[in-house]
Chain A
Amino acid sequence: MPNSGQIPLNRSQFGLRGAQRQQSGLAAASASKGASVTRENDKSKTIILAVAGLAGVGLFGYMALGGQKAAGGPLVYTNAAACASGKMVPARTCESEWTAAQSLHAKLAPAYPSMSACEAVHGPGKCSNPATPGVPLRASAYIPAMAAYVLGKDSATNSYKAAPLHQVAADGNGKYRVSEGTPGKSDGAEGSEQRRAGGGGMFLFLHSSRAVAAAAAPAGNAPRMGAAPGVAPAGAKPVPGGAPQAAAPATQRGGMGATAGGKSGGG
C-alpha cells in the first residue's frame, strides 16, 4: 500500500460547529445528545487518508456505458488477448471491442499540434500521428497511444461496450484516463461534439496492474508449489484427508470467488 501523498482533511472546525449549534439553541434536544451526532472531535482534529488519498485506486469508477453501469464493474485490459484470457468477456467480443475502442480513441483522444507537445503530457515514445480515416480534422494531430480499454456490460442490451483509455505521465504508472477530451479537464465543452455522450466527470483512474495481471494469468485451479512447511503457522494442523504435511504443501487457488460470476460482492 503506497504510503506517500498523505492528504490531511481538515475537520478542525467540526467541534466548533457542533458547539455553536448547541449554544444557539437551534435544537435544544441536541444539547444532551449532540455528541452522538457530532464527531467526538476537538478543534485540532484532522483526518488523514494514508493510501495516497486513494488516488489511483479508482474509487467508485462507475462505468456508465450507454447509461448503464457495468454489471460487476468495469473490466480493464491492456490488449484483447488479456481480455480473452480473463474469461469474463467472450474472446470474439474482446477483439471486436478492441478494434472499436481503437477507432473511438482515434477520434476522442486528446490531440496536440506537435509530437513534443504530446510527449510533454503523455511521456516520451507514447505519441504518434496516425492517419485517421474519416476524421480529417484529426489527420495531422498527435495523439497518445491507446494504452488499454475498459469494458462494461450494458444491462439494457446485455452486450459489452468498450471505452478507450490512455495514460498521462503525471498520473504515474497504472492509471488510465478515458479518451474523451482534453487531458486535465474533466468537464467543459472541449471536444464536446466528439464525445459520445457528454456529461460530467470523465476520468477513470485505475490501478490496472491487479486487474490486468489477474486477467493475464487467470486464477484457475492451477496448483502452485507453495511455501516450505516451516511457514505453516504454529498450531496449523494437517487437514484430515488432505495432502501429507511432510511434503512441501501445494497451494490451490481459484476456490473462492467463482460464485460471483463477475458480479460485485458489495451491495
Chain B
Amino acid sequence: MRRQSCPKRSNFDDRVRELGFDFHSPGGVQYWHDEAYYSFSIKQIEDDVEAPSEEIAALCLEFAGKAVSSEEILLDLAIPEHAWDHIRDSWKRGEPTLYGRFDFAYDGKGPAKMLEYNADTPTSLYEAAVFQWVWLEDQIAAKVLPEGADQYNSIHEKLIARFQGLGRNRLLHLSAIMDSIEDKGTVAYLADCAQQAGHTTELLGMEDVGLRGDGVFVDLEDRPISWMFKLYPWEWLWNDNFGKSPAMRKVNWLEPPWKAVLSNKAMLPHLWQMAPKHPNLLPAYFEHDPKKAELGARFAKKPIYSREGANILLVDGEDVVGRTGGEYGHEGYIRQALVQLPDFDGRRPVIGSWIVGDKACGMGIREDASLITSDLARFVPHAIIG
C-alpha cells in the first residue's frame, strides 16, 4: 500500500461536468483529490480488505439476530422501546438490506481494524462506485497507470443487481435531507441504480413525507409510500413526530429497521465479546463497564450515536490526541482501543469497505490530516497494481 502522486487529469473538469460530480472549494478544501492515489497489491485487497469485510459482515448479522430478541441488548443500543417490535418483526421477516460501509484502519501490513460500521446511512457512495472507476480508466488511457491496473470496485453493478433482486417494477421513494447536497446526490445516484434495475423512483424530502388521515404515508402527490429508501438514521426517524405512527409498519424500508442495531457504536463492545481477539476487531467496552480499564490509557471514546466523526475523544497516555465537538453523546459512550491511522506524508487514510447485500464489493478511501476522519476528509482514489 502506497500513496502515489499523479498528475491531475487534463479532462478532469469535463468529467466533473458530464458525471455530475460537481463540487465547490472556495476555501481550498477540495473533496475529490485527483492528484494522488493509493496503490495496493491484489493480495492486500483480497486478504486484508475483502475477506475480513465479509467475515465481519457475517458476524454483524449474527449479532443482529441476537440483538433483536434481547431487551438487554436493545437497551444497550439505546433504541427506543416503541421501536423494538418493528425491529424484531423486520428481522424475522428477513427484510432485505441494500448496503453498508465498514471503516477500517489499514496500513498495508497488519490486519485491517474495523473502526465502525455505517450500516444505516452511508454516503461517499457515488464517488467510490462511479467517479473513482472513471478515474481509473482515464489514468490508464493517459498512461499514468499501467494497462493492467485494476480497482476493487463492483459497487455499481452490485447495487443494480441488488435492486433487481428486490422485486420487479416497483415504485421506490427515496428520501433524504435534500438541503444537504451530498445526501441528495446519494439518493439521486441510488435512484439511478434502481431505475436501471427496472423500478420507478421518486425523490422526496424527509419533511415532505405526508401522513394521510387514513394512516398511510404519502408523497407530495398523495401517492402511498410502500417502499422507501431513507438516507436518514433510524434513531432520528423514531424520534420524529411520525416515528411512532402505525404507518411506519406499512412501509418496506431501506435500510430495514433491524439495521439500526448495527449502525450503532454500542454494537462494537458486543462484537468484541462475541469474537474476542478477532484480528480485525478492536477491543471495545461500554464506558460504564469496569473492563474498560483493560484498554489502559490509549483509547477512543465514541458516542453510541455519532456521524461524520462528531463528539469523539482520542486519548493516548496523558495526551488527548484528538477531539471533535458536535451534538451527539446523550445516549452514552463506548471506549475502543486506540488505533493510530497510518501516516502517509501527513495524510491519514481510512478505508471505506462497501457491502451490498451481503457481499463485499468495493472500496473508497478518505484521508484527513487529523486522526479523526470527519466530513472534511478528502476522497482519494485507489488502484490495484500487481
Residues of A within 8 A of B (CB): 1, 7, 9-11, 13-14, 17-18, 20-21, 24, 26-27, 29-30, 33-34, 36-41, 47-69, 72-75, 88, 163, 178, 180, 185-187, 195-206, 210-211, 214, 219, 224, 226-227, 229, 231-233, 236-240, 242-245, 247-267
Contacts and interface: CB of A to CB of B under 8 A. Distances in A.
B300 interface: no
Interface of B: 13, 16-32, 41-43, 45-47, 50, 118, 121-123, 126-127, 130, 133-134, 137, 140, 147-150, 152-154, 156-157, 175-186, 188-189, 191-192, 195-196, 201, 203, 205-216, 218, 222-224, 226, 230-233, 235-237, 239-243, 245-247, 250, 307-308, 327, 375-376, 384, 386
Contact of A52 (B20, B246, B327): B20
A64 B118 contact: no
A185 B17 CA distance: 11
A72 B179 contact: yes
B16 to A, nearest CB: 6
A62 B182 contact: yes
B130 A49 contact: yes
A202 B46 contact: no
Given A249-B212, A266-B122, 10 more contacts: A9-B133, A29-B43, A60-B181, A62-B181, A64-B25, A64-B376, A233-B216, A250-B213, A264-B307, A266-B121
Interface centre among A27, A49, A74 (most CB of B within 10 A): A49
A210 B205 CA distance: 8
Contacts of B175: 256
Contacts of A48: 196
A240 B23 CA distance: 48
Given A60-B126, A73-B183, A199-B30, A253 B148 contact: no
A154 B252 CA distance: 38
A59 B189 contact: yes
A73 B31 CA distance: 13
A229 B214 contact: yes
Contact of A201 (B13, B20, B218, B235): B13
Contact of A205 (B22, B188, B224, B232): B22
Contacts of B180: 72-73, 263-266
Contact of A60 (B118, B182, B215, B223): B182
B184 A58 contact: yes
B207 A266 contact: no
B208 A219 contact: yes
A236 B25 contact: no
Contacts, number: 381
A265 B185 contact: no
Contacts of B216: 232-233, 236
Contact of A267 (B137, B218, B230, B307): B307
A238 B213 CA distance: 8
Given A27-B386, A233-B224, A255-B245, A226 B23 contact: no
B29 A67 contact: yes
A59 B22 contact: yes
Contacts of A224: 210
B19 A266 contact: no
A204 B212 contact: no
A196 B214 CA distance: 53
A21 B196 contact: no
B138 to A, nearest CB: 10
A64 B213 contact: no
A247 to B, nearest CB: 7
A260 B206 contact: yes
Contacts of A88: 179
Contact of B27 (A18, A199, A231, A247): A199
Contacts of B176: 265-266
Given A30-B46, A258-B241, A264 B177 contact: yes
A210 B180 CA distance: 11
27 contacts: A7-B18, A9-B133, A26-B386, A29-B46, A51-B192, A59-B185, A60-B127, A68-B27, A74-B179, A178-B24, A180-B26, A201-B13, A201-B25, A201-B30, A206-B181, A214-B178, A214-B179, A214-B207, A224-B210, A227-B222, A233-B224, A236-B216, A242-B215, A243-B213, A253-B208, A254-B241, A264-B308
Contact of A36 (B50, B118, B121, B127): B50
B232 A257 contact: yes
B211 A231 contact: no
A238 B212 CA distance: 10
B46 A238 contact: no
Nearest to B31: A62
A49 B42 CA distance: 28
A62 B177 contact: no
A210 B206 CA distance: 12
Given A59-B188, A60-B185, A214-B179, A256 B214 contact: no
A226 B212 contact: yes
Contacts of B209: 253, 255-257
Nearest to A250: B213
Contact of A7 (B19, B29, B207, B242): B19
A1 B247 CA distance: 27
Contacts of A237: 215
B250 A236 contact: yes
B121 A265 contact: yes
A55 B18 contact: yes
A60 B178 CA distance: 12
A29 B181 CA distance: 41
